[in-house]
Structure 1
Amino acid sequence: MTLIKDENWWRGAVIYQIYPRSFQDSNGDGIGDLAGIVQRLPHIADLGADAIWISPFFTSPMKDFGYDVSDYCDVDPMFGTLADFDAVIARAHELGLRVMIDLVLSHTSDQHPWFKESRKDRSNAKADWYVWAEPKGDGTPPNNWLSIFGGSAWQWDGRREQYYLHNFLTSQPDLNFHCEAVQEALLDVARFWLERGVDGFRLDTINFYFADKYLRDNPALPKALRNDSIAPGVNPYNHQLHLFDKNQPENLEFLQKFRAVLNPYGAAAVGEVGDAQRGLEIMAEYTSGGDKVQMCYPFEMLQPARLTAAGLETTFARMAKAAPDAWPCWSYSNHDTVRHISRWSLSDDAARAYTSMLVCLRGSLCLYQGEELGLPEADIAFEDLQDPYGIEFWPEFKGRDGCRTPMIWQTDNAQGGFTTATKAWLPVTAPHLARSVAAQKDEAGSMLAHYRAALAFRRAHPVLRDGTMTEIRAEGPVARFLRAGDETMFCAFNLSDGTETINLPQGEWQGIGAELGSQPAARNVTLGPWQICLARRVQV
């Protein structure tokens, strides 16, 4: 298959996230790698995805498993070589898959040559490449900013006798985007990978690039307004309204520069908006106007609380108010959140209903590896934890390892076909083995079969990829809306264990989506627990 040149390929696309440490190990060391990705790409193509997003594989000391980069333009040896990455690009494109890679631009590792030079003294060529600040008169940090990983966001450095900013681990110093040379260096990184053939980027923590140049204190956030979607309740990070350590207006100009780099290549970017209070509004700001990033994903569907019909209505109303042309990228699970099967306590029937609804939403979509198998969160013992976040906040919060365990390819294999090693970097759990790709691939009623059918349904109806979405409302637990474009489609989803009756809009409707379990179209439709109704307006 040859990729069709299309600068709007991202619009409504289904993007499959690969966490490379856990996708496929090709050399028996217990850690996934790029050659393993090449081996398993046909699975993603058969699923019906349009693109892959690969989490970081760059050179790194792995304090935060690749989100602490020490060389933006090379592959960490544990994942392979640049030649292995080129093979990923070539094979993906052969299969009709576009390739997006994860760029972590807000911070580097403290082992990056840029930071090593910057911290030497206050007069070197990169002295202002990171956010350095004088202590207060009593030697304490310059302001009250907090790290997502716990404690102050400032770390003392004895060489410069200054503090440096780190929104995450102390080993992840924040770059100073107020320095033009930093911006240009990062744009050059993007150009390097675009020249290598990537089709776009997932931009980690896109709203963290700039910090307030005056380093003003964040105000307190009233307890009633706190939201634990980014950090667990045990973390005081949620006690602040983050007005000054992120979400700065200067970010818009940088995103315009980034978009200008993307355009000649027909490439796209999706940004991660880490903000529990204003995520939708920031997403709208960053994606509207056609001159910044094409997509962002906010955290509204990554919340601990189950997404309800009322929540869907509120989410789309807020987004429409913020910017009508905003373009979201929706996801239920990723490498930082408890898998939604467990987070929302979903039965298989409930999971199918939520998947069917996801493919009918306006926006692009991200699926996280193993989601198509219905994998629950893995239960990881403390002694097996790798995630510094989980280790810091155990036992109230168990971290992110439970969603990062190996992909399960086979049931009759102790390591699920992920590795030939006797032990993987994270354990393979028994509940996962029963849901392997091999066990589900030929089973008509499997979760994998449902995901394949759902993605095929979305592809067969272009209105779902780029049509309008109107009349979004909740009728009790039923979420309902219209999609309109080359056809008009009615969509309704009973997000409950009860039975509900709904009325279809005026007009003549033809039932569709039987392969997804859609109920026949009628003036009045009764939806049993987790049932759906999809119908096409008949033109007269």
Structure 2
Amino acid sequence: MLRPLTENPDWWRGAVIYQIYPRSYQDSNGDGIGDLLGITNRLPHIASLGVDAIWISPFFTSPMRDFGYDVSDYCDVDPMFGSLADFDALISMAHQLGVKVMIDLVLSHTSIDHPWFAESRVSKDNPKSNWYVWADAKPDGTPPSNWLSIFGGSAWQWDAQRCQYYLHNFLTTQPDLNFHEPEVQDALLKVAEFWLQRGVDGFRLDTINFYVHDQELRDNPALPAERRNPITAPAANPYTWQDHQYDKNRPENLEFLRKLRTLMNQYGAAAVGEVGDDLYGLDILGEYTSGGDKVQMSYAFELLSSVPPTAQYVSEVMGAVDEKAPEGWVCWAFSNHDVPRHISRWKLTDAAARAYTTLMMCLRGSVCIYQGEELGLPEAELRFEDLQDPYGIQFWPEFKGRDGCRTPMVWDNNNQNGGFSSGHPWLPVSHDHLPRAVSEQEKDPGALLHHYRKAIHFRHSHEALVKGTHDTVRAEGTVVCFTRKSESEEIFVAVNLSGDPYTIEMPEGDWHQIGIELGSTGPAPDGKLHLGPWQPALALKHTPKA
């Protein structure tokens, strides 16, 4: 039975979404691993931020070789995280607090432990023989194509049972599903419907541009060194040496996305897709989020990269979005579970972190913030012996993997585990994080945690920031500036992304300073904006209705 449509099916547009990595959020039973009940217990903290929704990374049944991104049962909860009843309780509590729930669907691949793969590998003519991407070896026994795994090495793994290669864009234990098989698409749509009927409000779609492969298995062309832009994979990984035209980014993917959107529309649900590509990320984002018949929003990696977002860089990225995705909708993020935390990645001071938070809440699009970001947590430094991430173990020490951003959340500064667990945590709690614990920041009115609350509230208080248009985003020296506009208001935004003061001209009009609690300044008597280091200027002009 379908639940009623949400009162606002457009709720996702301009929403602020809080990402939870469940292994590291809150442990409720002392086994050192976070769980669904732990998340439920911490929902009041999340609601206090004023966010619209949470996105929970995978909690499905899994052998955990890639920590939940290798699913062996799409329609159940792994016992380490709890049960379906625990998930139902989480949904109920979140909705009572006015927070929507999005879950992370990993549709491009499964675990080798999934029953579908166990059946598929038995023979070349069983009912699920075509559910995964199988191919014969070349005459010399080598793989069918030159495709590479994002985790290193060939994307093809020989299977002695079937005497064929299977495709794996990630770990060898994560075989890719064959989206050219209609039964696969139907099965995955049933998975989505299972969770929609259970009450979820939407999905984060992992590796959305990896779903479909080239049926001819054509080799990817080489990418000249000067065109390599290692955003989605580290420079130490030769994955960045190819132009990935055939192993992902295929136009046939659009058909499946339309089917998924049709299903989501029945429930008023929304999806944000992860577009991972160094060359075509914004082009794909524009294609996948345009027309109102595919996914509602996507994020690329431009602001998840190691490039510090100067005013010039931000203006270039926003200009590229306007050019390549004029009808699209971006979900901006500075940090997530796959990249070093942006406080460390960009070497930010607390003042700089505040400036970037204010900027993010003023950009056109939706927003994802990652657990602990509201505390200004830096990347945790781990010893090789403590690593759990196979990606980091493979490329250490040139690339240290993703564990540094996945260490447990810190709630209290009164024990070595930061209030995360009464047991031994699956990853060590960083002692550098303890002074930034929630309990400590709640007591300090000037803490970054309170700035996040103010910035999110400021965004929600202005229709122009949630759903409005923007003019050209431009850089004036170290200041990035633009105007957001709705039917009832215009808001001028200028943020000095520098540790030095800078002065710009104020645009003409009857502007009134707003956002004082965010450190905003206003125009001087000479009509100019004199911005201090890392200072924003936010000004409002009411637009009379016709």
* Partner of residue 479, structure 2: 478
Aligned residues: 538
Match of 1:344 among 337, 346, 352: 346
Output the CA distance in 1 between the equivalents of 2:109 and 2:325. Answer: 29
Q: CA separation in 2, counterparts of 1:405 and 1:382?
A: 14
Q: Distance in 1 between matches of 2:448 and 2:27?
A: 24
**1:85-129 CA distance string (max 9 Å, x none):** 000100000000000000000000000000000000101000000
Cα pair 2:288 2:295 within 8 Å, conserved: yes
Report if the CA contact (8 A) 2:285-2:325 is conserved: no
Within-5 A mapping of 1:414-433: 414-421=416-423, 423-433=424-434
Q: Does residue 537 of structure 2 align to residue 533 of structure 1? A: yes
Q: What residue number does 1:510 align with?
A: 512
C-alpha contact (below 8 Å) 1:281/1:318 kept by paired residues = no
What is aligned with 2:401? 399
Name the structure 2 match of 1:132. 134
Q: Per the alignment, in what secondary structure is the counterpart of residue 289 of structure 1?
A: coil
Task: List structure 1 runs of 4+ shifted beyond 4 angstroms.
Answer: none
Deviation at 1:157, TM superposition (A): 0.5
Name 2:452's counterpart in structure 1.
451
- What does 1:281-292 align with in structure 2 at a 5 Å threshold? 281-292=283-294
SS in 1 for 2:139: coil
Equivalences for residues 35-434 of structure 1 within 5 A: 35-421=37-423, 423-434=424-435
Identity within the alignment, %: 65
Aligned residue number for residue 490 of structure 2: 488
Structure 2: distance between partners of 1:254 and 1:193: 18
Cα displacement (A) at 1:471: 2.7
Secondary structure of the equivalent of 2:18?
strand
1:262 partner amino acid: M
Q: Give the SS at the match of 2:432.
A: helix
Query: What SS is found at the alignment partner of 1:480?
Result: strand
Distance 1:209 1:233 in 2: 24
User: Where does the alignment leave 5 or more consecutive residues of structure 1 unmatched?
Assistant: none
Give the drift of 1:539: 5.6
For 2:26 and 2:523, the matched residues in 1 are separated by 43
**Does the 8 Å CA contact 1:22/1:32 hold for their aligned counterparts?**
yes
Q: Are 2:365 and 2:466, in contact at CA under 8 Å, matched by a contact in 1?
A: yes
CA shift at 1:274, angstroms? Answer: 0.4
Residue 160 of structure 1 deviates from its aligned partner by 1.2
Contact 1:146 1:237 (C-alpha < 8 Å) held by counterparts = yes
AA at the equivalent of 1:11: R
Q: What letter is aligned with 2:539?
A: A
Using the alignment, how far apart are the partners of 2:493 and 2:291 within structure 1?
A: 29
Backbone CA RMSD of aligned residues: 1.1
**Residue deviations 1:337-382, cap 9 Å, x none?**
0000000000000000000000000000000000000000000100
Structure 2 equivalent of residue 438 of structure 1: 439
Instruction: Show CA shifts across 1:371-425 (max 9, x none).
Output: 000000000100000000000000111100000000000011210000011x200
SS at match of 2:364: coil
In 2, the alpha carbon distance for the partners of 1:442 and 1:190 equals 42
Q: CA deviation at 1:323?
A: 3.2
3-state SS, counterpart of residue 341 of structure 1: helix
TM-superposed CA distance for 1:231, in Å, is 1.1
- Give the letter for the 1:524 counterpart: K
Query: Contact between 1:507 and 1:537, CA under 8 Å: does it hold in 2?
Result: yes
Name stretches of at least 5 consecutive residues in structure 2 with no aligned partner.
none
Q: Normalising by structure 1, what TM-score?
A: 0.99
Q: Distance in 2 between matches of 1:323 and 1:517?
A: 32
1:4 CA displacement = 6.3
Counterpart CA distance in 2 for 1:508 and 1:357 is: 22
Secondary structure class of the residue paired with 1:354: helix
Output the TM-score relative to the length of structure 2: 0.97
Instruction: Using the TM superposition, give the Cα deviation of residue 500 of structure 1 relative to its aligned residue in structure 2, in angstroms.
Output: 0.7
Q: Matched residues in 1 for 2:407 and 2:175: separation?
A: 28
Is 1:521–1:534's contact at 8 Å kept on the other side of the alignment?
Answer: no
Q: Secondary structure at the match of 1:183?
A: helix
CA distance in 1, matches of 2:443, 2:284: 43
Deviation at 1:442, TM superposition (A): 2.8
